[in-house]
A and B are shown apart, each in its own frame.
Chain A
Amino acid sequence: MEYDEFSNIYSDALPGLVRLKDRLDETLSKIVEPLAHIDRCQCRVKGAKSAYKKYVNKYANHSSPLANFEDLVAARIIVFFTSDIPVVRTALLDNFDRVERTEKKPEFDDQFGYESEHLVFVVPPHLKPDTTAEFCPSTFELQLRTILMHAYAEPQHDILYKSSGEIPKTIRRRLAWIAASCWGADREYEELRRWSEAIGN
């Protein structure tokens, strides 16, 4: 399928996606409101070009072009400390049915790179539209990570997304150093949080 055809299909789906994003924004804000150490909670709708790139790479054989996407509407919750991640996860599981959970991290123990928790949830009935005429995906993705995991992930994605071809070894090594620094800083902050709690802060 060429981009123009895909884009037309996507345009038809877009109003439904935007409305789902708005409802999800509101619901997630209420869920995290009583929780401590939330840096931000935001939702987004996937752009048509980004969706097409994914479609071509992964889903082109499927007869229904949008059926396999789970991140057409996606959310991200950024927390201060690593120990906040299970707290937020529990609050989310109180409200949504999880179909998949992946801890993204480097394959080997001596590697440093992208780290994040990815959850796929079923869109519950109360977030669905009142009419079947409006497009609504059956699932949404939520990424859950610390500020420092995010500090590595976002610039790294920007740099690698815009580059073409093989990434030079020195660049990969420098990125790994940034990832390692963020990993270490996360542990330091966790220790400091425990110290802060111990002295009654």
Chain B
Amino acid sequence: MRLVHFHAFAVSASNWDEAPNIQGGRIQADTQIEALIAKNVQKAKFDNCLESVFETDDSRHNDMRELIRRHAFGDDNAADEAAKEISERLSVAMDNRSHPALLLIASEKDGPICQVSLWTFPRDEALRLINQKTASLQVLTDIFSQTSRLRKAAFFKGGQAKTEFLGGKILDLQSGGGPKAVADFWLADFLLSMPAIRPKAGTQMIAKALIQCAKETADLTEQQQLQSAAMSIRSGPKQKWSPKEVAENFFNADLAARFQSKFPNVATYNTSIEIDQDTYADSLNFAVYRLDSGVIVSSPFSEIGESVRITGTPEEGNRLSCEGRVVSQKVRSPNGVR
């Protein structure tokens, strides 16, 4: 790949009704710059990142897709204009919670194929020790961190056919881990994109994998791990889960391997999925019941309708019956502390 266009801008948040807060422009490529891009592309491991698609209208148009293609395939003037508009869009997409950042846009070419990578590195502070006659510390405020967990990246590759540059790979370590408005600014507000697996389809896949694993294991520990995963996905603050994250957070190695085998490929296993709670509840048929006596019954999803039976109507009040051999017992204080 040969670097054809490279732009850098310092970007801060701006309101839609004021001039975008950007400074920067085209950077002449040299071996150091090329090495910097290569290092960051390698470090990002885009193959394992979220797969995204541009949110198009009925005629395939998406403003960011057009700008990115113009940066990739256009001449210097077209790429300069596209880069400036991309940086302005980032400034508007950021809000006061976003850190000022360095935006890098790199287009590399190999024959008819181009790859475009966009990076934001948040502004950081560093200390420099100046040790001349007397030692002193200098505070550097105009530096940007390449290793921050707040850094974000997007990667697009393809030719000029209409079927290409429809989506890319996204690195966003904040995504899905916090309030939706902050987490989604990079993917939705700036890149005008969405995850390549629709929430409903992805949620069904996760729920189905949990159910299959539950049916295949008689091991109580694994059943508990599956229950913990099912409940956290349902009621935890995290809105997006990749199947891999589910496995890493809740399962032992054997169960994780079986869980992974339920997904068709590695890309799906690694893709972050926005959980559609209605679909999840419908698919999983998993519930924690609180009875009028104060008893709480937590049932593995595979047992509902089997050893755990719900009868009656919602109007009359459902009744729960459960029967089985006790294999372990735990004592907890009322607030849950053991």
Contacts and interface: CB of A to CB of B under 8 A. Distances in A.
Interface of A: 23, 62-64, 67-70, 93-102, 120, 122, 124-130, 137-139
Given A95-B200, A99-B56, A122 B166 contact: yes
A95 B201 contact: yes
B25 interface: no
B201 A126 contact: yes
Contacts of A129: 265
B164 A128 contact: no
Contact of A125 (B162, B200, B267): B267
A95 B198 contact: yes
A105 to B, nearest CB: 14
A128 B267 contact: yes
Interface string B53-68: 1111011100000000
Nearest to B263: A126
Interface of B: 51, 53-56, 58-60, 112, 159, 161-164, 166-167, 194, 196-198, 200-201, 205, 263-268, 271
Contact of A100 (B51, B60, B196): B60
B8 to A, nearest CB: 30
Contacts of B54: 99
Contacts, number: 81
B265 A130 contact: yes
Nearest to A101: B58
B101 to A, nearest CB: 28
B330 to A, nearest CB: 38
A128 B265 contact: yes
Given A67-B163, A124-B201, 20 more contacts: A67-B159, A70-B162, A70-B163, A94-B200, A96-B198, A97-B53, A99-B54, A99-B166, A101-B58, A122-B53, A122-B196, A124-B198, A125-B51, A125-B267, A126-B201, A126-B268, A128-B267, A129-B265, A130-B264, A138-B163
A126 B197 contact: yes
Contacts of A120: 60
A101 B166 CA distance: 15
A179 to B, nearest CB: 24
B102 to A, nearest CB: 30
Contact of A67 (B161, B167, B194, B196): B161
A62 B263 CA distance: 35
A113 to B, nearest CB: 21
With most chain B CB atoms within 10 A of its CB, the pick from A64, A127, A129 is: A64
A121 to B, nearest CB: 10
Q: Is the interface of A mostly helix, strand, loop or mixed?
A: loop
B47 to A, nearest CB: 9
B265 to A, nearest CB: 4
Contacts of A124: 196-198, 201
A96 to B, nearest CB: 7
A126 B205 contact: yes
Contacts of B198: 93-97, 124
B115 to A, nearest CB: 15
- Which 10 residue pairs are nearest across A and B when measured between Cβ atoms? A67-B161, A130-B265, A125-B267, A101-B58, A94-B200, A126-B268, A97-B53, A95-B201, A68-B161, A125-B268
Contacts of A99: 53-54, 56, 60, 166
Contact of B112 (A64, A93, A122, A127): A64
Given A128-B267, A130-B265, A139 B166 contact: yes
A69 B59 CA distance: 16
A94 B56 contact: no
B197 A68 contact: no
A97 B196 contact: yes
Contact of B164 (A101, A130, A138): A138
Nearest to A119: B58
A98 B56 contact: yes
Contacts of A23: 264
Contact of A64 (B159, B166, B196, B200): B159
Nearest to A63: B112
A98 to B, nearest CB: 7
24 contacts: A62-B161, A63-B159, A64-B159, A67-B159, A67-B161, A68-B162, A70-B162, A93-B198, A94-B198, A95-B200, A96-B198, A97-B196, A98-B56, A98-B58, A99-B54, A124-B196, A124-B201, A125-B196, A126-B197, A126-B205, A126-B264, A138-B163, A139-B163, A139-B166
